[in-house]
Amino acid sequence: MAKRSKPSARKTKRGGSSKKNTPKLVATAPTSGGIPVVCSECYSDFLFMQNSSSTSANCPICMHSGQVPDSGEIARISMAKASEKKALISASVPGILFILIGLIYLMQLNSAGSTTELGPALNYSLLGGTILFFLITLVFAARYEKSRSEIYF
Protein backbone atom coordinates (compact mmCIF):
# COMPACT_ATOMS: atom_id res chain seq x y z
CA MET A 1 0.00 0.00 0.00
CA ALA A 2 1.34 3.39 -0.95
CA LYS A 3 2.02 5.93 1.73
CA ARG A 4 -0.17 9.03 1.49
CA SER A 5 1.61 12.30 1.51
CA LYS A 6 0.38 15.23 3.55
CA PRO A 7 -1.02 18.16 1.59
CA SER A 8 1.41 21.00 1.49
CA ALA A 9 0.24 24.30 2.88
CA ARG A 10 1.31 27.40 1.03
CA LYS A 11 2.96 30.11 3.05
CA THR A 12 1.48 33.58 2.97
CA LYS A 13 3.41 36.79 3.19
CA ARG A 14 2.93 36.94 6.98
CA GLY A 15 4.41 33.50 7.51
CA GLY A 16 1.18 31.59 8.28
CA SER A 17 -0.28 28.87 6.12
CA SER A 18 -3.11 29.53 3.72
CA LYS A 19 -6.38 27.70 4.40
CA LYS A 20 -8.15 28.83 1.20
CA ASN A 21 -7.86 25.47 -0.55
CA THR A 22 -9.15 23.33 2.30
CA PRO A 23 -12.77 22.19 1.82
CA LYS A 24 -15.38 23.24 4.36
CA LEU A 25 -17.48 20.59 6.04
CA VAL A 26 -21.21 21.12 5.85
CA ALA A 27 -23.03 20.82 9.16
CA THR A 28 -25.93 18.39 8.91
CA ALA A 29 -28.92 18.16 11.16
CA PRO A 30 -28.59 15.41 13.74
CA THR A 31 -30.95 12.46 13.32
CA SER A 32 -31.28 11.98 17.06
CA GLY A 33 -32.49 14.54 19.52
CA GLY A 34 -36.02 14.83 18.22
CA ILE A 35 -38.99 15.05 20.54
CA PRO A 36 -41.50 12.20 20.20
CA VAL A 37 -44.96 13.65 19.61
CA VAL A 38 -48.39 12.13 18.93
CA CYS A 39 -50.79 13.41 16.29
CA SER A 40 -54.16 14.29 17.86
CA GLU A 41 -56.09 13.19 14.77
CA CYS A 42 -54.61 9.83 13.75
CA TYR A 43 -52.67 9.06 16.99
CA SER A 44 -49.50 8.17 15.11
CA ASP A 45 -46.10 8.73 16.69
CA PHE A 46 -43.31 10.66 15.01
CA LEU A 47 -40.26 12.74 15.93
CA PHE A 48 -40.39 16.51 15.96
CA MET A 49 -36.98 17.96 15.12
CA GLN A 50 -36.18 21.03 17.18
CA ASN A 51 -33.82 22.55 14.63
CA SER A 52 -36.44 23.01 11.91
CA SER A 53 -37.14 26.59 10.92
CA SER A 54 -40.79 26.07 9.99
CA THR A 55 -43.63 27.54 12.04
CA SER A 56 -45.83 24.43 11.80
CA ALA A 57 -45.31 20.72 12.40
CA ASN A 58 -46.97 18.27 10.02
CA CYS A 59 -47.93 14.67 10.71
CA PRO A 60 -46.32 12.45 8.06
CA ILE A 61 -49.35 10.09 8.01
CA CYS A 62 -52.45 12.29 7.87
CA MET A 63 -50.80 15.68 7.09
CA HIS A 64 -52.44 17.30 10.12
CA SER A 65 -50.56 20.50 10.91
CA GLY A 66 -50.02 22.16 14.24
CA GLN A 67 -48.21 25.24 15.43
CA VAL A 68 -44.65 24.85 16.71
CA PRO A 69 -44.32 25.94 20.36
CA ASP A 70 -41.88 28.64 21.40
CA SER A 71 -38.37 27.84 22.62
CA GLY A 72 -39.33 28.04 26.32
CA GLU A 73 -42.01 25.39 25.86
CA ILE A 74 -39.61 23.18 23.88
CA ALA A 75 -37.08 23.47 26.71
CA ARG A 76 -39.76 22.45 29.24
CA ILE A 77 -40.73 19.46 27.08
CA SER A 78 -37.08 18.42 26.76
CA MET A 79 -36.66 18.58 30.54
CA ALA A 80 -39.82 16.48 31.04
CA LYS A 81 -38.54 13.87 28.57
CA ALA A 82 -35.15 13.78 30.33
CA SER A 83 -36.80 13.18 33.72
CA GLU A 84 -38.96 10.48 32.13
CA LYS A 85 -35.86 8.71 30.80
CA LYS A 86 -34.17 8.95 34.21
CA ALA A 87 -37.27 7.48 35.90
CA LEU A 88 -37.34 4.62 33.37
CA ILE A 89 -33.74 3.70 34.12
CA SER A 90 -34.32 3.87 37.86
CA ALA A 91 -37.37 1.60 37.48
CA SER A 92 -35.53 -0.90 35.26
CA VAL A 93 -32.58 -1.57 37.60
CA PRO A 94 -34.57 -3.04 40.53
CA GLY A 95 -36.73 -4.94 38.04
CA ILE A 96 -33.68 -6.63 36.56
CA LEU A 97 -32.34 -7.39 40.05
CA PHE A 98 -35.74 -8.86 40.99
CA ILE A 99 -35.61 -11.21 38.01
CA LEU A 100 -31.99 -12.21 38.66
CA ILE A 101 -32.48 -12.96 42.37
CA GLY A 102 -35.70 -14.83 41.59
CA LEU A 103 -33.89 -16.99 39.02
CA ILE A 104 -31.03 -17.66 41.44
CA TYR A 105 -33.56 -18.67 44.10
CA LEU A 106 -35.30 -21.05 41.70
CA MET A 107 -31.99 -22.56 40.56
CA GLN A 108 -30.84 -23.12 44.16
CA LEU A 109 -34.22 -24.59 45.07
CA ASN A 110 -34.12 -26.88 42.05
CA SER A 111 -30.60 -28.12 42.76
CA ALA A 112 -31.31 -28.73 46.48
CA GLY A 113 -34.60 -30.51 45.90
CA SER A 114 -36.56 -28.94 48.78
CA THR A 115 -36.53 -25.93 51.08
CA THR A 116 -35.34 -28.02 54.06
CA GLU A 117 -32.24 -29.20 52.20
CA LEU A 118 -31.57 -25.66 50.96
CA GLY A 119 -31.27 -24.39 54.51
CA PRO A 120 -33.37 -21.77 56.24
CA ALA A 121 -30.82 -18.95 55.95
CA LEU A 122 -30.33 -19.25 52.19
CA ASN A 123 -34.00 -19.99 51.60
CA TYR A 124 -35.33 -16.97 53.48
CA SER A 125 -32.62 -14.58 52.32
CA LEU A 126 -33.23 -15.32 48.64
CA LEU A 127 -36.99 -15.31 49.09
CA GLY A 128 -36.82 -12.06 51.08
CA GLY A 129 -34.54 -10.45 48.48
CA THR A 130 -36.92 -11.45 45.71
CA ILE A 131 -39.92 -9.98 47.54
CA LEU A 132 -38.01 -6.82 48.49
CA PHE A 133 -36.89 -6.12 44.91
CA PHE A 134 -40.41 -6.83 43.66
CA LEU A 135 -41.83 -4.19 45.99
CA ILE A 136 -39.08 -1.70 45.07
CA THR A 137 -39.84 -2.35 41.40
CA LEU A 138 -43.52 -1.59 41.97
CA VAL A 139 -42.71 1.71 43.69
CA PHE A 140 -40.29 2.85 40.98
CA ALA A 141 -42.63 1.71 38.20
CA ALA A 142 -45.41 3.83 39.70
CA ARG A 143 -42.98 6.76 39.90
CA TYR A 144 -42.09 6.24 36.23
CA GLU A 145 -45.75 6.16 35.20
CA LYS A 146 -46.30 9.40 37.11
CA SER A 147 -43.43 11.14 35.28
CA ARG A 148 -44.47 9.99 31.79
CA SER A 149 -45.43 12.75 29.40
CA GLU A 150 -46.92 12.46 25.94
CA ILE A 151 -47.02 15.48 23.68
CA TYR A 152 -50.07 15.83 21.42
CA PHE A 153 -50.42 18.48 18.76
Higher pLDDT, 89 or 48: 89
pLDDT at residue number 103:
94
Mean pLDDT of 49-73: 77
Instruction: Determine the 3-state secondary structure of 126 from DSSP.
Output: helix
Average pLDDT over residues 66-82: 82
pLDDT of residue 22: 54
**Predicted pLDDT of residue 19:** 53
Mean pLDDT computed over 103-109: 90
- Say how many residues make up the chain: 153
C-alpha closest to that of 109 among 2, 134, 101: 101
Q: For 29-51, what is the mean pLDDT?
A: 72
Q: What's the per-residue H, E or C state across 19-36?
A: CCCCCCCCCCCCCCCCEE
Share of the chain above pLDDT 90, in %: 27
9-18, 41-50, 136-145, range with the lowest pLDDT: 9-18
Model pLDDT, residue 69: 77
